[in-house]
Structure 1
Amino acid sequence: MLIILKESATDAQIDHVVERVEGLGLATHLSRGTYRTVIGVIGDEDKLQAIGPEAIPGVAKVVPVMPAYKLASREAHPQPTIVEVGSGKAVTKVGGGHLGMIAGPCAIESAERLDEIAGEIKKAGANILRGGAYKPRTSPYAFQGLGEEGLKILREIGDKHGLPVVTEAIDPRHVELIAEYTDMIQLGARNMQNFVLLTEVGKTHKPVLMKRGMAATVKDLLMSAEYVIANGTTDVVLCERGVKGFDNACRNMLDVAAVPQVHQMSHLPIIVDPSHATGRPELIPACALAGLAAGADGIHIEVHNCPEEAMSDGPQALLPNQYAELMEQLKKVALAIGKTI
């Protein structure tokens, strides 16, 4: 960490800063320039951050040498993390050249419907089944999910088709129950900075799928991942699902550039979700292909066998045959870039 002093800093103030830092058990290296004096700090930077060094007289600003998301950073872990989702024969790897192809309905509606959809997506090549048991809805009158009954259905159908399962946690009170039934816990865009929820999910040691918030920067996303990792769960898969733009032609704006940017900044795998990014089925295939070509470690797509009857987000779901066609195209792109499904 570098402490940059003000041009007007006096010798007494400089000595005080050095004394304050060394009092924390940290080493210092003083460098006097023509216009600025810089103090290099060696040691546990968290000790220094805890005292708020910007408040010390004479300090202009503090510049971290390491990013704040230490555990999620590429510097801390140069090799890409490979996240294993599931157990036994139903294990899917995500990252390091392995693609996680997540598909399923927005909400779990019934065992029969989920069974039909799971069979279709498995045949097409999907390797993780998704479905919401608890749904964060904009309207309090909209379908909120089946709760524990939905979790039981998801587990049963996942086991039947040999697919690991993922569902979203929206309340810290549900985390333990969700961890009992699922192989992966999703943290949605609306909860990306729900730090109480992040902490509880991190304690489960279950793989986590973390979606980027609608107004979050890539750094914000990595800082939220840091919360989960710091609490014990190292297997985190990030998800670019679109951010808010000024154009209302799509539900959100897919930030494809976030994929290679995350790979430069972090060792964590990142997938793309063109369903929530566009909200338009006719745009999903092109955005999915673009995301994979940009280096995504997987694709997350909503699939429903009768969108007009869907209880949540039906208009943005692909039909099973449309998903199968897209998967054939994605397999060709994966082959061209040296990744495997």
Structure 2
Amino acid sequence: MVVVMSPEATEEQIARVTSRVEGTGGRAFVSRGVVRTIIGLVGDIESFHGLNLRSMPGVEAVHRISDPYKLVSRQHHPDRSTVHVGEPGAQVAIGPDTFTLIAGPCAVESAQQTLEAAEMARAAGARLLRGGAFKSRTSPYSFQGLGPQGLEILADIGRATGLPVVTEVVDARDVALVAEHAHMLQVGARNMANFGLLQAVGDAGRPVLLKRGMNSTVEEWLMAAEYVAQRGNLDIVLCERGIRTFEPATRNTLDISAVPVVQASSHLPVIVDPSHAGGRRDLVVPLSRAAIAVGADGLLVDVHPDPENALCDGPQALVGADLRELASAVRRLTPVVGRRA
């Protein structure tokens, strides 16, 4: 069951609802969005019906939810959400009315490389800067990122270019440190089911970018988002980045159908990562066109000033003419589907 509080609800009214629920032995999880606060109830549904929660001050509606992911479900939140990233007064919106390009280097290698990549991204129309300071790699011998030094570089370049920063956190112990430097915390595909990390980023007070696990179903993906929402954070953006199938022709198989499927089930924004889906530079623009056409809320794209010498995922990073083609595709196609970039 979910209690939707009115936009004008006070903290005292929210506290009264949670207290009444907990008085019956139930549990109440408060999640705050930009406009509304939602309280997810866990316990004996029949006993909740006897609490007359609908009549309490500040309560707008009470819904019985059949989906296992109660807080991120669209059953109680029919309008799709918009997530705002960045400092107050200079926030970037990700949601149903806009199309948001997020771009930057897969990994922060140096200040100069990050600055060049950020300037390339901004010139292509990117509104947010992505870059990895901590990297989850299949091989322990691969470049693992610069760590805290990379965070400082990324934050400095973000300020210099005016782009809010998105970066991955791979360990719950690093969440506070990463949150000091980034405007949005990314949970990568390999950590989608790291439930301790999901709870930690949910507590961090920052928007969260949650990638789909390479072997995960849509329901498992949404249940991972529920872990974040349950900690009080509804500012979650989902990212489809391809799943592992039998087909070796591409790095992953982009599940383009997941975008409308998730949008029908959840109010959260959904973006697409064509770089990690295809794993090849020549596939990024075609997959981006498909993402725009199917209704994605944005793209997450790798760019690099010198892909041939990149320390991470150089073959998929855009540069030069490919990046200009991507910018052109976003500019031309988004109005066709009723979006503004």
- How far has the Cα of 1:75 moved from its partner? 0.8
State the match for 2:142 in structure 1.
142
Q: CA deviation at 1:123?
A: 1.3
The percentage of aligned residue pairs carrying the same residue is 50
Q: Distance in 2 between matches of 1:156 and 1:72?
A: 34
Q: Please, which runs of 5 or more residues in structure 1 have no aligned partner? A: 2-23, 27-42, 49-63
In the TM superposition, what whole-angstrom CA distance separates every residue of 1:1-57 from its partner, at most 9, and x where no partner exists?
9xxxxxxxxxxxxxxxxxxxxxx999xxxxxxxxxxxxxxxx966347xxxxxxxxx
Q: Distance in 2 between matches of 1:280 and 1:340?
A: 27
SS at match of 2:43: helix
Equivalent residue runs for 1:279-294 within 5 Å: 279-294=279-294
Partner amino acid, structure 1, of 2:310: A
Aligned equivalent of 1:177: 177
Q: CA deviation at 1:88?
A: 4.1
- CA shift in 2, pair 1:181/1:336, >3 Å: same
**Measured at CA, do residues 155 and 247 of structure 1 come closer, stay the same or move farther in structure 2, by a change above 3 Å?**
same
Query: Following superposition of structure 1 onto structure 2, how do residues 1-341 of structure 1 map, counting pairs within 5 Å?
Result: 46-47=43-44, 66-88=66-88, 90-341=90-341
SS of the residue corresponding to residue 144 of structure 1 reads coil
The CA RMSD measured in Å over matched residues stands at 2.0
Name the CA distance, whole Å, in 2 between partners of 1:88 and 1:208.
Answer: 17
Describe the shift of the 1:47–1:325 C-alpha distance in structure 2 as closer, same or farther (beyond 3 A): same
Distance 2:249 2:111 in 1: 35
C-alpha deviation, 1:89, in angstroms: 5.0
**TM-score normalised to structure 2 length:** 0.81
What CA distance in whole angstroms lies between the structure 1 residues aligned with 2:323 and 2:66? 42
Change (3 A) 1:47 1:151: same
Deviation at 1:83, TM superposition (A): 0.4
Cα 1:89–1:121 change in 2 (3 A) is farther
Report the Cα offset of residue 160 of structure 1: 0.7
Contact (CA 8 Å) 2:168, 2:188: kept in 1 or not?
yes
Retained in 2: the 8 A contact 1:205–1:234? no
Q: Which amino acid aligns with 1:193?
A: A
- Aligned residue type for 1:270: V
> Residues 127 and 164 of structure 2 are in contact (CA less than 8 Å); yes or no, is this contact kept in structure 1?
yes
CA gap of 1:45–1:186, structure 2 versus 1, over 3 A, is: closer
Give the letter for the 1:67 counterpart.
D
The answer as to whether partners of 1:90 and 1:163 remain within 8 angstroms in 2 is no
Q: Is the 8 A contact 2:275 2:301 kept in 1?
A: yes
Which structure has the greater CA radius of gyration? Answer: 1
CA shift in 2, pair 1:172/1:324, >3 Å: same
**Structure 2: tracts of 5 or more residues without a match:** 2-23, 27-39, 46-63
Give the 3 Å change call, closer, same or farther, for CA 203–281 of structure 1 in structure 2: same
**Conserved 8 A contact 1:121-1:324:** no
Cα distance in 2, alignment partners of residues 153 and 271 from structure 1: 26
